[in-house]
Amino acid sequence: MSVTEQPPAQPPGGDPHQEPDLARAALHDRIAADSLTTRRDYLRIVATVSGGLAVGGLGVAAGVLPRHGDTEGVPEPKKVTDRLLPGQSISFRYPGEEDRAVAVRLTDGTLAGYSAICTHLACAVLWRKERGSEGELYCPCHEGVFDVRTGEVTAGPPPRPLPRVLLTEEADGSVWAVATARSGESTKDALCREFKDSDSPVAGRLGCRGAAVQDQNQGEQR
């Protein structure tokens, strides 16, 4: 796997980097989504899966002002970049064109994705590679600092961790954003929230509450 799984700290919602199966489930789930664009994008990804896709780690966060994770329905997947090498970062917009986000490849290969909207007063968060052993996410407005592995606040006035953007990596090295999670929200909870209305079998496999009830009802009707 191209993404390592060794975050030093656990965010409140769980480890954002240790749920590759959920990311894989999300990928397949999107195939069944209503949007033709979504379907096309995911078919493209899954075609690569059949050729040996290595699902990358997951990055997440939770936002406030313009708040990631509050989108209606399931956001469409978005290709972030063709390649992201260790020590590199890239800014992008996800899930909407107003939602600033940042993806970082740590030196050990870990992929991390976050909202780049500071949870204090919504200034733009920047990646500072040279800070500390792994770099940091920094808000210049009031010296807010976030841990790049977890999104947790390590300094300054931000009241919440950065919302995460869930990322996956294709075998060809391209990086995709597939979902968002709110501050402190686990990957599973984020996926269940986003997929709960999509009539998706993956929601059941994930153990999402609503999906489980639906499956049970269907079973009773048979």
DSSP E strand boundaries for the chain: 78-81, 89-93, 100-105, 111-115, 126-128, 136-139, 144-146, 153-155, 164-169, 175-181
Which CB atom, from 102 or from 118, has the smaller least distance to ligand FES? 118
Asked whether position 63 contacts ligand FES by CB under 6 A, the answer is: no
Amino acid (1-letter code) at residue 133: S
Residue 187 · residue 209 · CB < 8 Å? no
How many chain residues bind ligand FES (CB under 6 A)? Answer: 11
Contact pattern from residue 81 through residue 120 relative to ligand FES, giving x for each residue in contact according to CB under 6 A and a dash for the rest: -------------------------------------x-x
- In terms of DSSP bridges, do strands 111-115 and 100-105 run parallel, antiparallel, or are they unpaired? antiparallel
Which CB atom, from 17 or from 160, has the smaller least distance to ligand FES? 160
Which CB atom, from 157 or from 204, has the smaller least distance to ligand FES? 157
Q: How far is the CB of 133 from ligand FES (least distance, A)?
A: 22
Which CB atom, from 55 or from 153, has the smaller least distance to ligand FES? 153
Q: How far is the CB of 115 from ligand FES (least distance, A)?
A: 12
Q: Find the helix or strand (DSSP H, E) in which 80 lies.
A: strand 78-81
- For residue 172, the cross-strand partners are none
DSSP at 15 = -
Asked whether position 142 contacts ligand FES by CB under 6 A, the answer is: yes
Q: How far is the CB of 135 from ligand FES (least distance, A)?
A: 17
Cα-flanking dihedrals φ and ψ of residue 41, to 5°? Answer: -60, -45
Q: Which of 29, 117, 102 is nearest to 68 (CA)?
A: 117
Contact pattern from residue 144 through residue 183 relative to ligand FES, giving x for each residue in contact according to CB under 6 A and a dash for the rest: x-----------xxx-------------------------
Q: Which of 165, 163, 125, 131 is nearest to 144 (CA)?
A: 125
- Residues engaged in binding ligand FES (CB under 6 A): 118, 120-121, 123, 139, 141-142, 144, 156-158
